[in-house]
Structure 1
Amino acid sequence: MSLTAPQIGFDRFIQLDWVAAALKVRAGLAKLDELNDLLDVAGLGLAARKKTRTVLNRLWLEPRVDLVDFANRGAEIFKANPSVSVAALAWGMAIATYPFFGKVAELVGRLSALQGDCSSAEVHRRMSEIYGEREGIYRMSNMVLQSQAGWGAIERVEKGKRLIRCSPIALTENEPVAVWLVEATLRYAGRSVSIASLQSMAVLFPFVLDQSLAYMVSNSSYLELRSEGAGTQFVSLRD
Structure 2
Amino acid sequence: MSNKRDGQIGYNRQVELEWLDFTASLIASGETPQSIKSSLDEYLKDRLSIGSDAVRGSRGKTISILLSIWVTVPKHLTKLRDDALLLMRHLSASEHLALHWGMTMTAYPFFGVVADTAGRMLGLQETVSTLTLKNRMREIYGQREQVIRSTRFVLYSFTEWGVLIETSERGVYRLSETKNLKDHQLQEWLLKAFLISEGKTLAPVNTAIRSPKLFPFKFEEPFRSENYSDLEFFRQGLDEEMVMIK
Cα deviation for residue 181 of structure 1 reads: 0.7
**TM-score (ref. length: structure 2):** 0.86
Structure 1 residues 63 and 160, CA, compared in 2 at 3 Å: closer, same or farther?
Answer: farther
Q: Which moved more, 1:154-163 or 1:136-145?
A: 154-163
**Cα distance between partner residues in 2 of 1:17 and 1:106:** 24
Q: Is 1:197 the equivalent of 2:207?
A: yes
**Cα distance between partner residues in 1 of 2:208 and 2:24:** 26
Give the RMSD, CA atoms, in angstroms.
Answer: 2.2
Structure 1 residues 53 and 104, CA, compared in 2 at 3 Å: closer, same or farther?
Answer: same
**Cα distance between partner residues in 2 of 1:130 and 1:40:** 36
Q: Which moved more, 1:79-88 or 1:159-168?
A: 79-88
**Cα distance between partner residues in 1 of 2:26 and 2:169:** 35
Q: Which moved more, 1:25-34 or 1:63-72?
A: 25-34
Structure 1 residues 95 and 160, CA, compared in 2 at 3 Å: closer, same or farther?
Answer: farther
Matches within 5 A, 1:163-174: 163-172=173-182, 174=183
2:57 is aligned to 47
Cα deviation for residue 26 of structure 1 reads: 1.8
Amino acid at match of 2:132: E
Cα deviation for residue 116 of structure 1 reads: 2.2
SS, match of residue 213 in structure 1: coil
**TM-score (ref. length: structure 1):** 0.89
Unpaired runs of at least 5, structure 1? none
Q: Is 1:131 the equivalent of 2:141?
A: yes
Cα deviation for residue 231 of structure 1 reads: 2.5
**Cα distance between partner residues in 2 of 1:67 and 1:100:** 17
Give 2:193's match in structure 1, choosing from 175, 184, 188: 184
SS, match of residue 11 in structure 1: coil
**Cα distance between partner residues in 1 of 2:92 and 2:129:** 35
Answer yes or no: is the 8 Å Cα contact 1:108–1:118 preserved in 2.
yes
2:129 is aligned to 119
SS, match of residue 128 in structure 2: strand
Give 2:159's match in structure 1, choosing from 143, 146, 149: 149
Cα deviation for residue 12 of structure 1 reads: 1.0
1:175 is aligned to 184
Structure 1 residues 236 and 160, CA, compared in 2 at 3 Å: closer, same or farther?
Answer: farther
2:117 is aligned to 107
Answer yes or no: is the 8 Å Cα contact 1:78–1:84 preserved in 2.
no
Answer yes or no: is the 8 Å Cα contact 2:11–2:111 preserved in 1.
yes
Q: Is 1:234 the equivalent of 2:242?
A: yes
Cα deviation for residue 64 of structure 1 reads: 1.8
Answer yes or no: is the 8 Å Cα contact 2:41–2:59 preserved in 1.
no
Which of the pair has the greater relative contact order for Cα pairs under 8 Å at 6+ separation?
2
C-alpha distance after superposition, 1:124-169 (max 9, x if no partner): 1111111111221111110011011111111134685212111011
Q: Which moved more, 1:92-101 or 1:77-86?
A: 77-86
Amino acid at match of 2:89: K
Matched residues, percent identical? 27
Cα deviation for residue 37 of structure 1 reads: 3.9
Cα deviation for residue 196 of structure 1 reads: 2.0
Q: Is 1:215 the equivalent of 2:215?
A: no
Q: Which moved more, 1:204-213 or 1:71-80?
A: 204-213
